[in-house]
Amino acid sequence: MSQSKKRQLALNVFLLRYGHHPAGWLHPTWTENGRPDLQWWIRAAKIAEAAKFDTFFVADFIGRSGVIDKQSVKNPNNFHFEPFTLLSAIAAQTKDIGLVATVNTNFSDPYNVARQFTSLDHLSGGRAGWNVVSSLNPVTAKNFGIEAPITHEERYERASEFIQLTKALWDSWDDDAFDHPDRHSGQFYDPASGHPVDFKGEYFKSEGLLDFPRPIQGYPVFVQAGNSETGREFAAREAEMTYSSATSLDVAKAYYADVKSRMAKYGRDEDQLKITPGLNVVVAETDQEAQDKYGELQALVDFSELEFGGKDLSKYPLDGPL
């Protein structure tokens, strides 16, 4: 008999309301206005669920619409629903699909985030996932009044401590703490089922208990998408799923081998992490129609005012080195 384990692909859907292609909303087939549309999201989540996708991911580039400049006026994806609110609505309309919310650990507080995830997990019957991000956009930093730059290393340290504290808060109640309200004694819960937190870290402090039962899953499913050295190490230690953006099969294989090889030192088995490389698709009835559609989208991209991080790149050749 074969000793090999049964392996199964994990499929995640990552939608942006206006498409991943920068010219998606400029295509003549796009005829809607720019108002938020809950029904669009619910319909998409239901389609993904019917198609047996494992997870429905809501990205969050918090605050990126905080300035009006040449680039921001071109990008409708800077405007998006806050993930917990959106996924709570989707939770009520779906049954099986995992619901992954992005939370940036630079702009949130662990106690609030612990409550939000346990609420989403209970609302959805144990389907919550957390895409942990620690990116720091200067525009967003200004939105939050953050003046001193936070180094890349520090952001990941803060994210690790953030997770440590949220886990401690979720662990502050036993799984069954609220399963046996005792009308006889008048005790809604057994005091022994609560475990107050006393956390003093470098970035966060917290004392006390979470004000809601532990998530059904214990913790939400941890997802991560960092690609740097620190990001890969973080994924190996914390993540159960990573979003990677490989540009070729070789790059994808190297990433896979590298991240998985870092797990053992954290006492983790390689099977505890699913790697889901991104795949951008253009859908049409036939191959040719899909190619044509892609060509139309590419032709709609305006390369005349290209910039990155405030730097004008328009004078560089498009396919040449920077």
CB 94 within 8 A of CB 61: no
Cβ-based nearer residue to ligand FMN, 201 or 277: 277
What are the DSSP E strand ranges found in 203-269?
Answer: 205-208, 221-224, 241-244
Rule CB under 6 A: say whether 75 interacts with ligand FMN: no
In the set 41, 49, 53, 60, which binds ligand FMN (CB under 6 A)?
60
Rule CB under 6 A: say whether 59 interacts with ligand FMN: yes
Cβ-based nearer residue to ligand FMN, 136 or 210: 136
**How does strand 221-224 pair with strand 205-208?**
unpaired
- Name which of residues 91 to 120 contact ligand FMN (CB under 6 A): 102, 104
Cβ-based nearer residue to ligand FMN, 168 or 273: 273
Give min distance, CB of 137 to ligand FMN, in A: 8
- Name which of residues 242 to 301 contact ligand FMN (CB under 6 A): 243, 245, 278
- Site track 12-51 with ligand FMN (rule: CB under 6 A), x = hit: --x-------------------------------------
Cα–Cα dist 67/79, whole Å: 12
CA 76 to chain centre: 19
Give min distance, CB of 155 to ligand FMN, in A: 8
Residue at token pair 């036993």: 174
Give min distance, CB of 20 to ligand FMN, in A: 10
DSSP characters over 55-119:
EEEE---TTTTSS--TTGGG-GGGS---HHHHHHHHHTT-SSSEEEEEEETTS--HHHHHHHHHH
Give the chain's end-to-end CA distance (angstroms, integer): 55
DSSP characters over 165-179:
HHHHHHTTB-TTTTS
Cα–Cα dist 317/151, whole Å: 32
Coil, strand or helix at 53:
coil
CA 281 to chain centre: 20
**How does strand 205-208 pair with strand 197-200?**
antiparallel
Cβ-based nearer residue to ligand FMN, 188 or 266: 266
C-alpha pair distances (Å), 222 with each of 22, 62, 102, 117, 153: 28, 19, 10, 11, 20
Cβ-based nearer residue to ligand FMN, 214 or 260: 260
Give min distance, CB of 110 to ligand FMN, in A: 18
Strand partners, 132: 103, 224
Cβ-based nearer residue to ligand FMN, 127 or 232: 232
Give min distance, CB of 70 to ligand FMN, in A: 21
Give min distance, CB of 62 to ligand FMN, in A: 7
Give min distance, CB of 201 to ligand FMN, in A: 21
* Size of site (CB under 6 A) for ligand FMN: 18
Of all residues in the shown chain, the one whose CB is closest to ligand FMN is: 231
- Name which of residues 190 to 229 contact ligand FMN (CB under 6 A): 225-228
Cβ-based nearer residue to ligand FMN, 18 or 61: 61
Residues that bind ligand FMN (CB under 6 A): 14, 59-61, 102, 104, 131, 133, 135, 225-228, 230-231, 243, 245, 278
